[in-house]
Amino acid sequence: MLRLPPLDVVVAGSLTDALQQLTTQPAARPLLGGTDLVANLKTGQTKAKTLVALGHLADLQGVDASGEVVRIGAAVQLAELARDPDIQALFPALAYAVGRIASPQIRNAGTLGGNLCLDTRCRFINQSDLWREALGGCLKSHGKECHVIPGGGGCVAALSADSVPILMVLGAEAEIARLQDGALVTRRTPLAELYDSDGRRHVRIADGELLVAVHVPKLPAGARAVYRKWAVRQSIDFPLVSVAVRVDLDGAGKLRQGKVAVGVLGPRPRLLTLERWAGRAIDEVLAKQVAQQVFDRSHPLPNVLYDHEYRRERLRVEVLRALRTWIAPAESER
């Protein structure tokens, strides 16, 4: 069987301790549920000497919906989040999206913070040592060339986190902590700016920093979001097509503003706005125009294990179907 390489596990005593451990311990990485990290350590695609366990830290817990902005701790388990009554009431599409991540067992261990920091995925990297050795490596492992885009200079492994597109259209911000002169300080970054286009390091969280929470503003009246995921299987799979659509309607039922976030392209989700359709009613014609624009501006790559041209076609249909929920509101959000 595949085993973890020898490494150390440090259970952090506090957030401050965790931040210290991460900078002082050799080749340290933060560990929440471990459902992504442990797999990647076992296959050897990720290296670490120390894992700093954070899952129990109080600062990373809880869903607080008392204010105008909902705070979700990074260590909140996906299963917990999916069944949280506040999340279900305020952001049903988020509850749905995290409820579709992987499998029940993984949702019982995996966390929202872990999903936001999920490593990018590619059919040339998510493989065994033998496989990657036979390939000669790639930009993200020990090699020098990209097999997705031959001759390409950057790693284009795909962001595959189900929670990211939906949190982006909801306008979420990441709360990131670090130590400054021994004192704990935090910064906020909109999710739309959290991701970078380098698949080797696509989350803009610096060494010595930790994601501690996500803040999601409550939706104004007339606003709603929908998440759609396509994968071959109904369970276990990462998304092959992943898209979130948000529409804010005005009092007259016309489009005030809207956003579309597309995942599983490259390392960074694509965010589009619907401003050119502002003032229009959502009908099949508009839905098709939006779907076409998303299609035109999104280029799935042969990075994950499915025909990329089909994924592009599929994306068009998924956007269309998301928008149709505004045309026929009785239809489910799925």
Partner 1 sequence: MKGPLSANATARDLHRLTVDDSPVDETPVVGSRHGRVDALDLLTGVGKYADDLVLPRMLHCKILRSPHAHARIVNIDTSAAEAMPGVHAVITGADLPMRYGVIPWTQDEYPLALDKVRYVGDAVAAVAASSEDVAKAALARIAVEYKVLPAITDPREALTRSDVKIHEENKHGNISKQVTLAFGDVDTALTQSELVIEGDYQFHGSTHAAIEPHCAVGHVDGRGLLTVWSATQVPHYLHRELGRVLQRPSHAIRVIQPPVGGAFGGKSEPFDLEFCVAKLAELTGRPVKCLYTREEVFLAHRGRHPFQMHYKTGFDRDGHILAVDGKSLLDGGAYSSFGLVTTYYSGQLLGSPYTFPAYRFDSTRVYTNKPCCGPKRGHGSVQPRFAIEVQLDKAAVALGIDPIELRRRNFIGENTQTIGEFHIGSSGFLQCLDQVEHASGWRHKRGQLPKGRGLGVAGSTYISGTNYCIYPTELPQSAVQICLDRSGRVRVFVGTSEIGQGSNTVVATLAADELGVELEDVRVLAADSDLTPVDLGAYSSRGTLMAGNACLAATRELATKLREIVSEIWNCPAGDVGLAHRKAFRLSDATVWMPIQEAFILAESKLGTLGAVGSYKTPTQNVHGDYRGGTIGASPAYSFTAHVAEVEVDEETGDVTVLSIWCAHDCGRALSPTLVEGQIEGSTYMGAAEALMEHHRVLPSGLRTDGQKRDTGPGVEGLLAASSLLDYRMPTSMDVPELCALIVERPDPRGPRGAKEAGEGPLHSSIPAIANAVFDAVGVRIDDLPITPEKVLAALKRKASQTAEVR
Partner 2 sequence: MTAAEHPGAARAVHPRDHQLLHFQLNGEAVAVAAPPHWTLLEVLRYQLNLTGTKQGCDKGDCGACTVRLDGAPVLACMTLAALVQGRSVETVEGLGVGGEPHPLQRAFAELGAAQCGFCTPGMLMSAAAYLDDLATRDAPAVDAAEISAVLGGNLCRCTGYTKIVQAVAQAAGEVIERTQLLAEMSNDDGGMP
Furthest CA-CA distance within the chain: 62
197 touching partner 2, by CB under 8 A: no
Tell me if 232 contacts partner 1 by CB under 8 A.
yes
CA distance linking residue 80 with residue 71, whole number of Å: 14
- Each residue 3-42 as x (binds partner 2 by CB under 8 A) or -, in order, gives xxxxxxxxxxxxx-x---x---x-----x--xx--xx--x
Task: Identify each DSSP E strand in the chain by its residue range.
Answer: 8-11, 28-31, 50-53, 63-64, 69-73, 173-180, 183-190, 209-217, 223-230, 241-249, 255-263, 270-273
- Taking alpha carbons only, the member of 169, 170, 136 closest to residue 150 is 136
Angle between helices 308-327 and 284-297 (to 10 degrees): 150
Q: Under the criterion CB under 8 A, does residue 135 sit at the interface with partner 2?
A: no
- Contact yes or no for 261/169 (Cβ under 8 A): yes
The reply on whether position 24 binds partner 1 by CB under 8 A is no
Interface positions, 286-315, toward partner 1 (CB under 8 A): 305, 307, 309-310, 313-314
Cβ–Cβ under 8 Å, residues 65 and 29: no
321, exposed or middle or buried, with CB in 10 Å at 0-12, 13-18, 19+? middle
| Contacted entry of partner 2, partner 1, none for residue 303, CB cut-off 5 to 8 Å set by kind | none
Residue 2 lies near partner 1 (rule: CB under 8 A)? yes
* Cβ closest to partner 2, residue 1 vs residue 206: 1
Is 109 a residue that touches partner 2 (CB under 8 A)? yes
To the nearest whole angstrom, how small is the minimum distance from the Cβ of residue 303 to partner 1? Answer: 13
* C-alpha to C-alpha distance for 303 and 316, rounded to whole angstroms: 19
In whole angstroms, the minimum distance from the beta carbon of 56 to partner 1 comes to 28
Listed ranges 60-68, 120-128, 153-161, 246-254: which one lies at the site for partner 1 (CB under 8 A)? 120-128
Binding partner 2 by CB under 8 A: which of 51, 70, 148, 216?
51
The residues with which 187 forms a beta bridge, in sequence order, are: 176
| Interface map 121-160 toward partner 1 (x if CB under 8 A) | --x--xxx-xx-xxxx----------x--x----------
Q: Which residues bind partner 2 (CB under 8 A)?
A: 1-15, 17, 21, 25, 31, 34-35, 38-39, 42-43, 49-51, 53, 55-58, 79, 102-106, 108-109, 234-236
